[in-house]
Amino acid sequence: MELVEVIFDIPLWKSFDYLPGKYGKDIGIWRRVLVPFKNRKEVGFVWNIKRVEKIERKDFYLEIIKIYDSNPLINEEILSLIEFISERYFSPPGQSVFSIIGSFALK
């Protein structure tokens, strides 16, 4: 079983866990996804994919609604820049990612 960690363009040093749902095999790190967030839908980046043995409360997690990218948008060079921005300017990773990539058009 997998949980997908998603980061957003918000001032929090935190990721949020989602179930891959029907996109289990298509999920990959550094792809944009549409997910339910609070009372709206938000675009975020897949930060990590965690393998877990079992999920106690599946009803606690929401599912990914849509995947926008078939390939990762971030390579090693961009990742280095994101890490630099986060450390240098004390910016959460989600805001650093969206400051660089966030303006790409959604499909």
pLDDT digits (tens, 9 = 90+) for 26-64: 899 999 999 999 999 999 999 999 999 988 887 889 999
In the chain, % of residues over pLDDT 90: 72
Mean pLDDT over 80-107 rounds to: 86
pLDDT on residue 103: 63
- Is the pLDDT at 107 greater than 70? The verdict is no
- Is the pLDDT at 83 greater than 70? The verdict is yes
pLDDT on residue 8: 95
Instruction: Give me the amino acid identity at 21.
Output: G
- Is the pLDDT at 17 greater than 90? The verdict is yes
Q: Mean pLDDT across the chain, nearest whole number? A: 91
Q: How many CA atoms lie within 13 A of 37 on its CB side?
A: 17
Between 14-18, 19-23, 55-59, 74-78, the lowest mean confidence (pLDDT) is in 55-59
4, 27 Cβ separation under 8 angstroms: yes
Under 8 Å CB-to-CB from 52, ≥6 apart: which residues?
1, 2, 3
